Structure 1
Amino acid sequence: MTGRTGSGGVGRACSRPGTPPRAGGVRRPGRDRDRGSGTVLALGLIAVLMVLTLAVVGLARAVHARGTAQTAADLGALAAAAAVQRPTGTEPCVAARTVVAANDAELTGCTVTGEVAVVSTAAAVAGVGGGDAGAGGRLLARATARAGPAP
């Protein structure tokens, strides 16, 4: 006997010829072990994605801080060199400190030799640590720039 018997689809149905019908409510052994494994897999993937997202955000913050420190160093060195070449009564390192502070960084070094100014800066990585620059676990991005006449 293959297929359905009787009229209107009432009777026994076989999925394949020669396959005995399954009794209602009886489960195959071993299939219950896999229940919920998709949920565990999905939670694991979500956790991995969250860790990767946090890593990428941290890296983006560090790159931004490095750009801030380099921009502040470049502009501070230009301000110091301009103060040397066009004396206005302002000391070159004071001019550099003002420009660096306006660019959200901290002046960590300033050297003027002749008409050449070398400025070093540090900028804090946003959202990491606290306290004074360099202390308290705060991460700093550092940069140095030189400005003056061509050598």
Structure 2
Amino acid sequence: MSRRDRERGAGTILALGLVLVVLVVCGAAVLVSQGLAAAARSARVADLAALAAADAERGLVPGGTCPRAIAVARLNGAALVSCEVESPGRIVRVIVTIPAPAGLGVAEGRARAGSPP
């Protein structure tokens, strides 16, 4: 058996290995990008809920502070975990969570909003 016959098919194995590596890297990149998108979305929802709650706390819109934050979080597909008035009539802090795709758990967003100092 010549050396040429022994190495026959080695290129195919190398090509399949390279394809496997590329697929694994692409899969990991998709998971990371989905996690980052979920984190950005949760931060955005937290900002919206905090702003709405701060408006209610300052009396700019009717309704309660935390009920307003709950409503805004629900409308954006999130769950309000915490809502607290840091400074009565001025500043509100909220924490929201949204489900992250692909079984990554949940993404948490935190925000603080209120009147200027």
* Alpha-carbon offset, residue 127 of structure 1: 2.3
Contact persistence 2:55–2:61 (CA under 8 A): no
CA distance in 2: counterparts of 1:41 and 1:106, whole angstroms: 48
Aligned residues: 115
Q: Which residue of 2 aligns with 1:72?
A: 45
1:1-151 alignment, distance < 5 Å: 29-86=2-59, 88-113=61-86, 114=88, 115-128=90-103, 139-151=105-117
Q: CA RMSD in A?
A: 1.5
Q: Which has the higher helix share?
A: 2
**Comparing both chains, which one has the higher relative contact order based on Cα–Cα distances under 8 Å and sequence gaps of 6 or more?**
2
CA distance in 2: counterparts of 1:60 and 1:106, whole angstroms: 22
SS at match of 2:101: coil
Q: Alpha-carbon deviations, 1:7-32, whole Å to 9, x = none?
A: xxxxxxxxxxxxxxxxxxxxx72111
Q: Which residue type is aligned with residue 49 of structure 2?
A: G
Q: Which has the higher strand share?
A: 2
Contact persistence 1:75–1:99 (CA under 8 A): yes
Could you state the TM-score of these two structures normalised by the residue count of structure 1? Answer: 0.71
Could you state the TM-score of these two structures normalised by the residue count of structure 2? Answer: 0.90
Consecutive unaligned residues of structure 1, counting only runs of 5 or more, are 1-27, 129-137
CA distance in 2: counterparts of 1:103 and 1:149, whole angstroms: 24
Q: Structure 1 vs Structure 2: percent identity of aligned residues? A: 36
Larger radius of gyration: 1
